[in-house]
Structure formats: structure tokens, C-alpha cells
A and B are shown apart, each in its own frame.
Chain A
Amino acid sequence: MTETMLKVENLAVDFSTPAGNLRAVDGVSLELAEGETYAIVGESGSGKSVFSRTLINLLAGNGKREGSIEIGGRDIDTLSKSEAKHFFGVDVAMVFQDPMTSLNPVKRIDAQLMEAMRYHLKVSKSEARERAIALLKQVHIPSPEQRMRQYPHELSGGMRQRVVIAMALACEPRLLIADEPTTALDVTVQKSILDLLDELRIERKMSMILITHDLGVARGRADRIGVMYAGRLMEVGKTDDLFADMRHPYTQALLQSIPNPAKRSHTRLQPIPGRPPNLLDPPQGCAFAARCRHAQPDCLNAKPVLEGTSGGSDDHRWACFHPVGTPDGDAALKANLEAGANAGGMSMKEIVGELV
């Protein structure tokens, strides 16, 4: 078994807002081995971006973190101020979603690439320049010497995202956090960027947290997946296990709402009715219960915890009282169908559409 790169335990993030306390991340624990890719999948507002930013110590001023984060064996709370300065951005780096806004529009590419190396690694200007050119080559940017002197607006979206990746790699991080790195890009460019991240990860034995809303991207790229909803992990497991043996009704609903290119055209889609819960006033029970086709009265009263085949490399767990594919889950679905509504009062006709 390889070394653990990232260990998150019981992470919770609260924001105090004028409207009250908002818990964006609620008790997330995960472990990531060296060289592994872990995808966090969720819809907007699920807390996946807050989670990723917390890992790199980029929490907004009104945010408060609980729980521990260990990166490469170091608990980040034990870092001194001066250590922290050269830890975030060096040992752990981040690629943001929008390559249009994550580069400074009035600075040339070379200045942006060299800045971090000069600051963190204290290398000379000429060495930083050499390393910057080498990095641009590594991210497959043609004629890097010329590109170095250009401004971001002179580059296409895909090129810019390559530059952003080069910047993140400049100080040779061991953990890379990619927050929706390809969402703003065309599918063909998306593929080349994801290929590039894979290649670099293997070459550098880097670990990667891939934040995405796209189950397809996660399926194609991640070793393991965590499905997030309302700040909590609903189901975690190895990618193949998760897709072969989906247990959480939310994971299942999410997958069924996506058009599958293998199905005939005009195949009726199954949307998830309703809306995610208001995190300022979170439900007492399972956050998904109101929209869930399996929901029973107990789901409304208590929050299920992640359980399943325990620990190790076969880790596949789900937080559900009545999971898919179990006699109990089947009975819950059947009971709801007969009653015409789930325990939260949502009509089953809306939930399962015309397929029943």
C-alpha cells in the first residue's frame, strides 16, 4: 500500500452570514493515496468548491473550519506561519475553473509563471525562466519562448488553462487540486486537458483531487469517487464499484438525469424534482430525503452516516438508511410507489416520471 497523501477527518466548514450560520461542508472524511485521483462530484451548491478551497487554506474571512487536514503526513494546523507560507502553493497547488479569470490580464505569461518560483523556491531569474519554458513544454504549448512574452488574451481558452496548470506545477506540488478544470472549455479541449493532467500526475507521482459536476468526467478519470450533496458525502467508492453497484438513491438519480449517448434519441430523461435544501435552515434528517424516491419517515429524523464494505482498498460506503439494491431499499421504493409519495410528501409521479 502506498503512502497516504491526504487525510481529511470530520471536516466541517461554517460561514457566518447576515442570514445566519451556513454549514457548507458537514463532516467530510477521506483519504487519498499517493498517485491517486479522487473525484468529488456534486451539483452547484453541494459544497465541493468550498471543500477544495479549504484544503489549500483559501477559506473566506467569514468561514470557520473544524476537523483535521493532513497533507503528506503534516497536519496543517501544526504548520508555523512561515512554514505555511511556503507550503500552500508548493506542496499542494490548485487549478481553478475559469482560465479567463485566473490569470492576470495585464501581466505577461512569463512574469506570472516565474513569480511563484522566485518567491517560493528562491531561484534566480534566469533559472526561473528556464524552468518556466520547460513547464510550458511539459503542458504541450508549442513555441513556448514566444508564448512567454504574450499576454493571456492572446491565448485561446485551452492554452490559458495549460498555462494555469503550468503555474500550479511550477513548485512541484505533491497534491494537485483541480476545481472544475475543464468546465469552461470545449469537449475536445476538455479531453486534451484531462489527458494532460493524467500524464503529469503519473509522471510526477502526484495525487489529485478532481472537483467536477460531471459524472462522466469522474468516471473516465478518477480512481475513486465521492458524491457530495448539501455538504456531505453521500456515497464513496472505487469508480468501478460505484458505477457497477450504485447504492445511494442520489447517485442513482444523478446518473439517470444525464442524457446517455448510448440510448436512442428522445429517450425520456429522469430529472431530480425539487431543489437542494436551504443550508441556512438544513433539514434534520438526510439532506436528500425530500427529493428521494426511497425516503421513509426515519430519513426525515436522523442523518445517515457512511457505511458499507469497510475500509482498505475495497472501501465502498454510502450514507443511506434504505439503499438501492437491498431488500430494505426495494421495500422502501415499493412502499412509496404504492403510497404515491415519499415520506417527505413529494409525489412519486414527479420523482420517477413516466418510467413507472
Chain B
Amino acid sequence: MAGSGTAHLRESDDVLVRVEHMVVEFPISGGTVHAVSDVSFDLVEGETLGIVGESGCGKSTTARAAIQLPKPTSGSVWFKGLDITKLSKEQMRQIRPEFQMIFQDPISSLNPRRTVTEIISDGLKVWGENDSWTLDTIDELMEAVGIDPRYGERKPHQFSGGQCQRISIARALVLDPKVIICDEPVSALDVSVQAQILNLLEDMKARYGVSLVFISHDLSVVKNISDRVMVMYMGKTCEVAGSDDLFEKPTHHYTRALMAAIPGADVVVEDQTLEGELPSAINPPAGCRFNSRCPAATDECRSIEPQIREVAPNHFVACHHPVLT
């Protein structure tokens, strides 16, 4: 598991973003943190790609590096026929409005000193009005995300967590982006509010035709919102498949362990608990990075890194010994 390869990338005109062999490393004293090691993925227009994995698996770094925050150490990111890793700073700046983000903590991701209208309309002031939104139609956008425009002069602390997340969504939509990266957008919310935000994201996606990269550690949430899901472990890809397909037939041992850990759910996998700790990302295990905790690991797994391959139509896994049923 936890391998490399590009077998899961699609050849289609609808592909909006295509990330190939992306590597992100952070130098630290005494070594290098291998945060993302040769990850490839693509995003089709109008699609939601879910990225799941435990904390520290590189899911946030993967999504952020794809939009050059920070620039990946190596690899290429194709968007509209351009490799955006090769763009100059100014060229990259020009393309930035196409990519927006929604963060985990709804309150701290909004400037506490500015009013909601200012927060939402700022992008338009920098970039000018676009085909979808103008300074005069901000109220409409606020209504679309469920914020009463009469409250436009209020500041973030006067809103609840769920409302702040709605404001973040409006701020992301105002520049008419192609891709919105949602980094754990509902983890800080109560379940009843979480459902409101997930429904809102689905509606906005349908209405404004954006594609989403949805990062979460919660498998149930990811399954609900995603079309396609990528499971990551220690900076590597484990498994990529359609959302329903992945949950019906998880083939990677790590995916299965994650699913067995969903509390109180009836899942298709046997009961199991992952033993041991996450290995160090400074000195990751050789071969498959999951071998130290995998119930099916063999000598092969400890020496040879598995490559991503198709085990069923549109179901890809990087494992020497996947569970095929």
C-alpha cells in the first residue's frame, strides 16, 4: 500500500486539474520531512474529490501544494493546459482566483475586525467584478449561502460557527473559482450544523459548477459528499475509487482499518485495530510505507514499493496484497 504511480489518472477533456508525481519536502535540522512523496491525482470538472487519512498523512499539504501553497518540491500540476509549477509569480497571481479555499476553523479564518460584507466583497475589489458577481449582487450571494444580507455590517464574532463557515463559502465563491479546496470544513461544527454546511456545499457545487477537493478525517462525511475518494497514508496514495465503490469494496488494508474504526457503523470489513504508531516522516519505512502496521505485510512489502494499479473498473490500489472479493 501506500505507493506511487499514475495508473489512476484519467485521459479526458473534462480533466480540470492534473497533478503528477508531486513531492513536497520540508527541510528541518537533521533531515527532511517527506510530507508528500510522489502523489498523483486529477480532478474532473464538477467533481468532488475526497481526500481521507489520519492527521499527518499529508492530505492538507497535497491539496495546498497543488495550488502552489507552498510550491511543491517537484512534480507538475496541470491546469487549463499549463503546468502551473512553472509559472512566474505574476502569472501565478493572475490564475489564483480560480482556486479558493475554505478552512477548518470558521471563526479564526475570518478577519475579526472587518464586516461580513467587506470580507466577502474584498476579492471583487482586488480583481474587479466578474461575470457572476458584482459589488451590487453581494447581497444575492449572501442569501444564496444562507446569511441574511441585513447582517452585512456585523463582524464575525457576532455569528455562530456554522454561519461563519457560510461566510467563508461566500468569500470563496465570489471570485467565480473553478476549484474550491475545503480543508476539514465541518470538523469544528456540531453534527446538526455539519449537515447544513454539507448540504450547502452540494447546492453551491451544483449551482455554480465548481469542483471541490474535500479534505477530512471523517470517512462518513467524505463518503457523503465525494464522487471519488483518495485514501492517503504518510504522504503516499493507498487507494483511489468512486465513493460508493470504495466503501462497498475496500481493497487496501489501510482503507479497511480506517473503515473498521468508524464508530457505531455497520461496515463491510472485519473488526480490527491498527497497532503501533505512525512511523517518522523524516525516515519513512522502505518499500510500502504502511508495512510496519499492516496485517498482511510480507518481505516484498518491506523492500518494494507497490505501484498503483487498477483492480476493478475505476478502482485503483497501491498494494502488493490487496483484498479482492
A138 within 8 A of B: no
Q: Which of A44, A187, A192, A273 has the most CB of B within 10 A?
A: A187
Are A257 and B195 in contact (CB-based, < 8 A)?
A: yes
Q: How far is the CA of A353 from the CA of B199 in the complex (A)?
A: 10
Are B223 and A259 in contact (CB-based, < 8 A)?
A: yes
Are A192 and B274 in contact (CB-based, < 8 A)?
A: yes
Are B224 and A265 in contact (CB-based, < 8 A)?
A: yes
Are A186 and B196 in contact (CB-based, < 8 A)?
A: no
CB A91 to nearest CB in B, in angstroms, measures 29
Given contacts A191-B261, A213-B190, contact A261 B267 (CB under 8 A): yes
Q: How far is the CA of A214 from the CA of B277 in the complex (A)?
A: 25
Given contacts A265-B244, A275-B160, contact A190 B261 (CB under 8 A): yes
Are B224 and A186 in contact (CB-based, < 8 A)?
A: no
Q: Which residues of A have CB within 8 Å of B261? A: 187-188, 190-191
Are A217 and B263 in contact (CB-based, < 8 A)?
A: yes
B282 within 8 A of A: no
CB A80 to nearest CB in B, in angstroms, measures 41
Q: How far is the CA of A145 from the CA of B220 in the complex (A)?
A: 39
Residues 138-149 of chain B, each 1 if its beta carbon lies under 8 Å from chain A, else 0: 000000000000
Q: Which residues of A have CB within 8 Å of B220? A: 258-261
Give residues of chain B (29-69) contacting chain A, Cβ–Cβ below 8 Å: 54-55
Give residues of chain A (100-125) contacting chain B, Cβ–Cβ below 8 Å: none
Are B273 and A261 in contact (CB-based, < 8 A)?
A: no
A283 within 8 A of B: no
Give the number of chain B interface residues (Cβ < 8 Å). 41
Closest to B278 in A: A156
Are B217 and A213 in contact (CB-based, < 8 A)?
A: no
A264 within 8 A of B: yes
Are A265 and B225 in contact (CB-based, < 8 A)?
A: yes
Q: Which residues of A have CB within 8 Å of B218? A: 187
Are B258 and A258 in contact (CB-based, < 8 A)?
A: no
A17 within 8 A of B: no
B227 within 8 A of A: yes
Residues 251-268 of chain B, each 1 if its beta carbon lies under 8 Å from chain A, else 0: 000000111111111110
B202 within 8 A of A: yes
B100 within 8 A of A: no
Q: How far is the CA of A215 from the CA of B224 in the complex (A)?
A: 17
Give residues of chain A (216-254) contacting chain B, Cβ–Cβ below 8 Å: 216-221, 253-254
Q: How far is the CA of A216 from the CA of B220 in the complex (A)?
A: 11
Q: Which residues of A have CB within 8 Å of B264? A: 214-220
B124 within 8 A of A: no
Q: Which residues of B have CB within 8 Å of A194? A: 263
B294 within 8 A of A: no
A81 within 8 A of B: no
Closest to A155 in B: B277
Are B263 and A268 in contact (CB-based, < 8 A)?
A: no
Q: Which residues of A have CB within 8 Å of B190? A: 43-44, 213
B121 within 8 A of A: no
Q: Which residues of A have CB within 8 Å of B266? A: 262
Residues 226-246 of chain B, each 1 if its beta carbon lies under 8 Å from chain A, else 0: 110000000000000001100
Are A265 and B199 in contact (CB-based, < 8 A)?
A: no
Q: How far is the CA of A266 from the CA of B242 in the complex (A)?
A: 12
Are A213 and B267 in contact (CB-based, < 8 A)?
A: no
A272 within 8 A of B: yes
Are A268 and B199 in contact (CB-based, < 8 A)?
A: yes
Residues 252-288 of chain A, each 1 if its beta carbon lies under 8 Å from chain B, else 0: 0110011111111111111111010000000000000
CB B267 to nearest CB in A, in angstroms, measures 7
Given contacts A186-B54, A257-B192, A259-B198, contact A191 B263 (CB under 8 A): yes
Given contacts A259-B220, A271-B199, contact A187 B262 (CB under 8 A): yes
Are B247 and A261 in contact (CB-based, < 8 A)?
A: yes
A159 within 8 A of B: yes
Given contacts A188-B274, A275-B160, contact A261 B226 (CB under 8 A): no
Are A265 and B219 in contact (CB-based, < 8 A)?
A: no
Are A214 and B196 in contact (CB-based, < 8 A)?
A: no
Give residues of chain B (181-213) contacting chain A, Cβ–Cβ below 8 Å: 190-196, 198-199, 202
Are A264 and B244 in contact (CB-based, < 8 A)?
A: yes
Are A43 and B191 in contact (CB-based, < 8 A)?
A: yes
Given contacts A43-B190, A219-B264, contact A265 B223 (CB under 8 A): yes
Are B263 and A271 in contact (CB-based, < 8 A)?
A: no
Are B223 and A156 in contact (CB-based, < 8 A)?
A: no
Are A216 and B195 in contact (CB-based, < 8 A)?
A: no
Q: Which residues of B have CB within 8 Å of A217? A: 263-264
Are A261 and B223 in contact (CB-based, < 8 A)?
A: yes
Q: Which residues of A have CB within 8 Å of B221? A: 259
Closest to A45 in B: B190
Are A254 and B192 in contact (CB-based, < 8 A)?
A: yes
Are A257 and B191 in contact (CB-based, < 8 A)?
A: yes
CB B242 to nearest CB in A, in angstroms, measures 8
Closest to A184 in B: B55
Are B225 and A266 in contact (CB-based, < 8 A)?
A: yes
A to B CB contacts below 8 Å, 9 in the list: A157-B55, A159-B277, A187-B262, A214-B264, A215-B264, A259-B220, A269-B199, A271-B195, A275-B160
Residues of A bordering B, CB below 8 Å: 43-44, 156-159, 186-192, 194-195, 213-221, 253-254, 257-273, 275, 353
Kindly list 9 other residue pairs between chains A and B, CB separation below 8 angstroms, not including A44-B190, A221-B263: A192-B274, A213-B190, A217-B264, A220-B264, A257-B195, A259-B221, A261-B223, A265-B227, A267-B224
Closest 4 CB pairs of A and B: A216-B264, A219-B264, A271-B195, A272-B192
